Amino acid sequence: GWNSGMFLFLASRYLEELHAFRPAIAESCDKAFSGAYRDLDFCRLDETSFAVCPGESIDYAVMEHTTHAVVVPSEIGWNDVGSWSALWEILDADIDGNVLRGDVYTDGVKNSMIRAESRFVAVVGVEDLIVVETKDAVLVVHKDQVQNVKKIVNDLKENQRTEHLNHTSVFRPWGSYEGIDIGDRFQVKRITVNPGGKLSLQMHHHRAEHWVVVSGTARITCGEDEKFLTENESTYIPIGVKHRLENPGKMPLHLIEIQSGGYLGEDDIVRFEDIYKRS
């Protein structure tokens, strides 16, 4: 039979069926939920219980066994929007059939999607193109070839590149950071720490760090010392010294971090204490 992959049910009713047909899955879910805990804006399921949950699709686990399901023919205009061309199809286009987002200039362009996220993008004299510019990369592809984007990711993996893994903007439980510049033995990041956010107590073997507060208030632990920094103030974290950054205020904390050293990888970190339970 044909399955659209869309189901509508009460969570309680689904769990009853799951307990009936796949009790092992239901038990793992129950334990993961009952062992959940909160930190700031996050609700975290119990990882151990969730990790042992058997992996099986809802189709095989429940829908093929339940006697309480009905199939309802419907016209709901569903679109998975699984490609850039599909996104172009559902968005409102201009008189030339173009969907434009961001700081974009076009001349003689038709039936295309141009998306600029971080800089000015000019496109001239083309048709049926998808152009997507982000801080990480730029994609230019014909609308009929968007399914081949996956080949790009496979090529990145085969050549051991990291563009598909490491992004310019990275989100963490405490906030986010964005790479601004990188060179031989240095890199610069813009760091945002949410109110109440606290980075782990950590140490680096290969890099030192300079922190400059742009706005907000920072509580900084460096070795045995603790101090507060506000706008336009800075501090230095030497190699091998335990340190922590946190935002005790009510407003987001923005700062610039300058790393210097022989190795600047994200895996050069030893965590001694972390409120977000990261290893």
Burial of 28-48, coded b for 16+ CB within 10 Å and e otherwise, reads: bbebbeeeeeeeeeeeebeee
Let me know whether 29 and 107 are in one domain: no
For the stretch 44-101, pLDDT in tens is 899 999 999 999 999 999 999 999 999 888 777 777 788 889 899 999 999 999 999 9
Distance CA(142)–CA(26), nearest Å, equals: 45
Q: Percent of the chain, pLDDT > 70?
A: 97
- State the residue range of the domain holding 124: 84-149
Provide the pLDDT for residue 276: 79
Return the structure tokens found at 151.
Answer: 């080949």
**Phi then psi for 240, rounded to 5 degrees?**
80, 5
Let me know whether 136 and 192 are in one domain: no
Let me know whether 186 and 266 are in one domain: yes
Domain membership of residue 248 (yes or no) is yes
Q: Percent of the chain, pLDDT > 90?
A: 71
Provide the pLDDT for residue 1: 45
How many structural domains are present in the chain?
3
For the stretch 180-215, pLDDT in tens is 999 999 999 999 999 999 999 999 999 999 999 999
Let me know whether 192 and 251 are in one domain: yes
Provide the pLDDT for residue 40: 59
Pairing of strands 225-229, 253-261: unpaired
| Residue 137, pLDDT above cutoff 60 | yes
Domain membership of residue 23 (yes or no) is yes
Let me know whether 260 and 200 are in one domain: yes
| Residue 3, pLDDT above cutoff 60 | no
